[in-house]
Structure 1
Amino acid sequence: MLSSLCMVTAAQAQTIVRIGHVAPVSGAQAHYGRDNENGARMAIDDLNAQGVEIGGKKVKFELVAEDDAADPKQGTAAAQKLCDAKVNGVVGHLNSGTTIPAAKIYSQCGLPMVTPSATNPDLTTLGYKNVFRLLANDKALGAGLAQYAAKTLKLKKVAIIDDRTAYGQGVAGVFRQTAKELGLEVVSEQYTNDKAVDFMSILTSIRSKKPDGIFFGGMDPQAGPMLRQMQQLGLTKAYLFGGDGICTDKLIELSSGAKTLGNVVCAVGGASLDKLASGKAWRAKYDAKFPRQFQVYSPYTYDATMVLADAMKRAGSVDPKVYGPKLGEANYTGVTAQVRFESNGELKNPAMTLYAYKDGKKVALN
């Protein structure tokens, strides 16, 4: 009887810490969302295995996962749901188009938010003190790709396509501006949407301009068919540039064997896992737990979850009002980076990696 009573008392003393996570786990971008959610779940499992104490009390972490289907309206609804549920912190959202409107809601309810993947620079210009980004933004990605096109590949003419989302427009705009500053001629600018799969008319128009490369601001469900159609139209010598939205393992499958996959150069706002101290071991652990599901951002959602927990430990509290200010003082050794933030919530000294696809595999160029 005494033993049972002690067990009940111990259980009652344990504090439950709920971390919200939001990403698309339905629709065409579900593979991104599942990968992100997997990274957060892995962090939750590791934290619980560590037996974390905060403020002298043992805590148990739980993940509260929501689906925003990459839709801004669903994103704001999910954000409000997490606020109403009084979770302790949020990892997400995945897309810039859902993260930016959701950030306003989290700011209003005082909930700290760390995005592992939304790269539109506007996010950290809104003045919210509770918003943090764990990777390089589109200014670094778009500019880095334009510099590679001009300085390394020595291209002369490029075309630009964007999907009209906050992410696609943002990264394409930076590429356009930097390309022009570097002397590249932008011979065509075209627009599509994040549901399209037929790009034949757009690519036919671009083909007549004879560009050396095409920049696509968008995601891999569109980039895959675009690569197939580039091959069909004879655009087999033109590079296809893109940001982290197309820089996935899934692109290999979505391009369905198109030889133009070998012309892709894409950028991710972080260092290659293979070149990070704990990167290979982390990836092996992930692959064992979630076979064939890795895409891009799961290491960042893992680190984002850990950064929230680290701020709680340093504050000695799981109360967002108490630990929130400690996020800005982070100096956490993560899988993806030494996580420290600028005063506006941007990551200090973010890395950027360019990738290409060789022999059907994504490989780092730097």
Structure 2
Amino acid sequence: MQFKKSMIFAAMAGSIAFAAAAQQELVVRIGHVAPTSGPQAHYGKDNENGARMAIEDLNKRNITVGGRKVRWVLQAEDDAADPKQGTAAAQKLVDAKVNAVVGHLNSGTTLPASAIYNQAGIPQITPSATNPRIAQQGFNTFFRILANDNALGAGLALYGAKSLSAKNVAVIDDRTAYGQGVADVFARTAEANGMKIVAREFTNDKATDFNAILTKIRAANPDIIFYGGMDPQAGPMLRQMKALGINAKFMGGDGICTDKLTELSGGANNDTVFCAEGGASLAKMPGGTEWRKRYDAQFPGQFQVYSPYVYDAVMMIADAVQKAGSAEPARIREQLAKIDYQGVTARIGFDSIGEIRNPAMTIYTYRGGKKIALN
């Protein structure tokens, strides 16, 4: 009988100790949203991989805030690159009371979602949505960790004029917030630098047949075809350009600047494509080379573009929590607004509207199926 009582007391003591330990734990939930289904799933999975790497690294560090051990939790949602699904995912994260959000991937989903996070007072860092209008809404909860379309579109146009000596250009966009935005900037800058827009055409982000558009463009004999959109459309477009005998150079922003473009184009991208990313090349990032080795070991063959920016975004939120001594969203936002953080991708700080200060931009081409940095 005495033995049974001892066992009961021991069990009670263990339960009390466990409850006390649980009370001491601070759970910080970080939301992540990207398209992990549909034609753009390869981008979304790459982004989510970057978030998971960061969460795993944080939990290995046994970080404490206010004397409480922090457990970092990722709540990942799929928006399928669809604005309606994006707003539903944003509301789901708000209802789950996440402390901060990394995402969304696309400008078209980030624009409506950013209003939801702002209303809830939840800080949001996008690692990839580049439309300038997002930062111009006046939301103090919004931060962008890479260059926007003003830099990308203008940089590509200047490269076309000065390095490729192009005179005539055709412009196509997919009518999304990202695609149309970057195409508009490219067209304006091209004209300002003496190039003539000989065709302006439109498609959508679900299309795969561009023969009618390309046949019309072929008659204008452009030196460059610029496409504002993503690689699920750019790949087939390049195949069809080759089949139609169009020898123009092909340009686009970070949406087409992926490792997967070679596969999607059937190799038609070799020595014909010039694209831009809103950051330094991995080789020139402060921690890019070593980080990529770790990424490839954990997620072989899945790297695309944005995962190192996602990794930095999660780490910056963690840094803000530690500096604030709190996981309250308002306190995190205050710290992000004045942060000076040395990340894998760059040294990061934000201006008054949440844009990254001193953004880098890299122009790439493809040779032998491999993406090669030109600057």
Q: Does TM, normalized by the shorter one, top 0.5?
A: yes
CA contact (8 A) 2:27 2:70 kept: yes
- Distance (Å, rounded) in 2 between the aligned partners of 1:277 and 1:111: 29
SS at match of 2:365: strand
Q: Which structure 2 residues correspond to residues 1-366 of structure 1 after superposition, within 5 A? A: 1=10, 6=17, 8-235=19-246, 237-258=247-268, 260-366=269-375
Aligned twin of 2:6: none
- Distance (Å, rounded) in 1 between the aligned partners of 2:205 and 2:106: 12
Identical counterparts, % of pairs: 63
- Distance (Å, rounded) in 2 between the aligned partners of 1:356 and 1:302: 25
- Distance (Å, rounded) in 2 between the aligned partners of 1:24 and 1:290: 17
- Distance (Å, rounded) in 2 between the aligned partners of 1:364 and 1:93: 26
CA contact (8 A) 1:135 1:347 kept: yes
CA contact (8 A) 1:17 1:62 kept: yes
- Distance (Å, rounded) in 1 between the aligned partners of 2:253 and 2:238: 15
The structural deviation recorded for 1:18 is 0.6
TM-score, length-scaled by structure 1: 0.98
CA contact (8 A) 2:270 2:368 kept: no
Deviations 1:77-124 (A, max 9, x none): 111111111011000000000001000000111110000000000000
- Distance (Å, rounded) in 1 between the aligned partners of 2:250 and 2:303: 22
The structural deviation recorded for 1:58 is 1.0
SS at match of 1:261: coil
CA contact (8 A) 2:231 2:261 kept: yes
- Distance (Å, rounded) in 2 between the aligned partners of 1:214 and 1:301: 30
- Distance (Å, rounded) in 1 between the aligned partners of 2:144 and 2:182: 16
The structural deviation recorded for 1:54 is 1.8
The structural deviation recorded for 1:51 is 1.1
CA contact (8 A) 2:286 2:345 kept: no
- Distance (Å, rounded) in 1 between the aligned partners of 2:97 and 2:106: 23
**Structure 2 residue identity aligned to 1:351:** A
- Distance (Å, rounded) in 1 between the aligned partners of 2:17 and 2:309: 39
- Distance (Å, rounded) in 2 between the aligned partners of 1:257 and 1:314: 48
CA contact (8 A) 1:138 1:171 kept: yes
Deviations 1:185-221 (A, max 9, x none): 1100000000000000100000000000100000000
CA contact (8 A) 1:24 1:69 kept: yes
How large is the Cα RMSD of the aligned pairs? 1.1
SS at match of 1:187: strand
**Structure 1 residue identity aligned to 2:227:** F
- Distance (Å, rounded) in 2 between the aligned partners of 1:49 and 1:41: 12
**Structure 2 residue identity aligned to 1:39:** G
- Distance (Å, rounded) in 2 between the aligned partners of 1:276 and 1:81: 34
**Structure 1 residue identity aligned to 2:143:** F
The structural deviation recorded for 1:52 is 1.3
- Distance (Å, rounded) in 1 between the aligned partners of 2:274 and 2:36: 26
SS at match of 1:19: strand
- Distance (Å, rounded) in 2 between the aligned partners of 1:55 and 1:261: 54
Considering only CA atoms, is the larger Rg found in Structure 1 or Structure 2? 2
**Structure 2 residue identity aligned to 1:265:** F
SS at match of 2:255: coil
The structural deviation recorded for 1:57 is 1.6
Count how many residue pairs are aligned between Structure 1 and Structure 2. Answer: 364
